[in-house]
Structure 1
């Protein structure tokens, strides 16, 4: 009888696997480095343009390194455009919007994730589906609705909800609450059910379970969402431009248009104004960076 021998497949050594893994990491790091550079090019170019006087740009061109460099464009942008006033308007819109959105979204997330009742999934789907609707589709109906909602002239110069910060706050809250509810509900579902069950045995009601037990554990997720929401609302340009007609009430994203000339645009000055508008969100991100990263990495590891 003839015996058939089969060759065993070669087993990769630990060194070969390590080399392959190292090559994969190098490729990943190279890709991320290239993407980071591409992402930073517009920001660095704006800073470079803002530091150059317009005279140097006109004499040598935008793609040159000759000429003077100073901070005069930042000083002129701050004084000419009245950016301090517009920053205050942005704060009056952003801070209430973020606080109201996170408060309402956290309550809704608690209701659909920690309380057993018939409409849990239905409500979560409705809140999530609201994010799929393009905001521009509702621009005309919302404008008409706000025009017919009367307010005292002490609160609104138009006598209606138009031309007020309340309109922008209401719309931004409505459009952002679905995303925040979805994120917070997923995080709350990951918390142990024993926490609320033990509290229920001890006599804690729904509000006590929400405020004293669940909310303190959600601080990393809330901090991450707060950072994102501040960026989203602060950078919003469409809704303030639609609902606010008075230039004194515009946020900084729309107020920066004051740096545009009627016949000539000083792009160095506009670049300086754009850099100034970025600083508040950058400061907030740096202040909440640890909580933001912790909120993003929750659930990424086992155990």
Structure 2
């Protein structure tokens, strides 16, 4: 009749668990440590193949300065911001509107529309490569910022709609009944009742979408060609030379590219965790 208490694990089981966690963490951090170590080494050490040794001469300032003075990473960085920020804003707006309608209004085909939004997330990117590229070429948008903005907005809205629908469905019905009793229209209900309660979900979704779009490499290569449009992920490939590569500069550029999403996560960590726990449990 009553649930039994969960028995405490034995000291040996806890020891094995902690050892497993430490091993996985070490394996996960090892490549990152290698990149960070490479980013502060001199070119002479890299050419000598000293990848895992402690730097004999620190070139941290020289390498990170060279990322912006000797390469076009500053332009690629700006391109990523031009692509990512509008994509995130559009995804948040569209997913909020569609999630609100699908969560609070029952109409014929509701589940079909919802299934179409969710089903798009299961399509492999390779299947859509040629149709999406041909579509952008026919629209005259190939090799432009709008090609990546439109695609990322369309592709990310499916997952975002699933997330927002679940979050709005978890809100108490009494809030919406009170809004209707006061004569609020659906738009007023969304703006004045739902939106203030959605800050954790919006923060979590903004971080996820920003990370997905910022780190995208596949579509950056498929839909762009010139350096004036390429984002940082595709621009990193330009740092590789035909015969030799300055891997210390490449490693420093990689660390610089990773800073924006990491910074955004830590600044909004509290809202991110709250949004995930509140919006991902109701079906």
- The answer to whether TM tops 0.5 is yes
TM-score of the superposed pair, with normalisation by structure 1: 0.85
SS of 1:166's equivalent in the other structure is helix
Q: Retained in 2: the 8 A contact 1:80–1:259?
A: no
Residue 215 (str. 1) matches residue 195 (str. 2) = yes
Q: Retained in 1: the 8 A contact 2:42–2:248?
A: yes
SS of 1:259's equivalent in the other structure is coil
Change (3 A) 1:124 1:23: farther
Q: Retained in 1: the 8 A contact 2:166–2:279?
A: no
TM-score of the superposed pair, with normalisation by structure 2: 0.91
Q: Which residue of 2 aligns with 1:44?
A: 33
Q: Retained in 1: the 8 A contact 2:220–2:231?
A: yes
1:98 to 85, 88, 94: 88
What is the Cα deviation at residue 196 of structure 1?
A: 0.6
Q: Retained in 2: the 8 A contact 1:227–1:292?
A: yes
Q: Retained in 2: the 8 A contact 1:86–1:255?
A: yes
Q: Which residue of 2 aligns with 1:190?
A: 170
**What do the CA deviations read for 1:43-80 (whole angstroms, capped 9, x no partner)?**
11100011111212334622322521221211112211
Change (3 A) 1:26 1:292: farther
Q: Retained in 2: the 8 A contact 1:60–1:66?
A: no
SS of 2:228's equivalent in the other structure is helix
Whichever of the two has the greater Rg, that structure is 1
Q: Retained in 2: the 8 A contact 1:81–1:256?
A: no
Residue 132 (str. 1) matches residue 150 (str. 2) = no
Gaps of 5+ in 1: 1-13, 150-159
2:51 to 62, 66, 74: 62
What is the Cα deviation at residue 21 of structure 1?
A: 5.8
Change (3 A) 1:23 1:193: farther
Distance 2:16 2:214 in 1: 36
- Pairing of 1:149-188 with structure 2 (within 5 A): 149=139, 160-188=140-168
What is the Cα deviation at residue 299 of structure 1?
A: 7.0
Q: Which residue of 2 aligns with 1:296?
A: 276
**What do the CA deviations read for 1:72-98 (whole angstroms, capped 9, x no partner)?**
211112211222211111011000001
Gaps of 5+ in 2: none
1:30 to 16, 19, 22: 19
Distance 1:199 1:21 in 2: 53
SS of 1:248's equivalent in the other structure is coil
Change (3 A) 1:45 1:144: same
Residue 113 (str. 1) matches residue 82 (str. 2) = no
Distance 2:174 2:10 in 1: 41
Q: Which residue of 2 aligns with 1:258?
A: 238
Change (3 A) 1:52 1:192: same
Distance 2:241 2:279 in 1: 51
**What do the CA deviations read for 1:17-57 (whole angstroms, capped 9, x no partner)?**
44x36655554443333222221111111000111112123
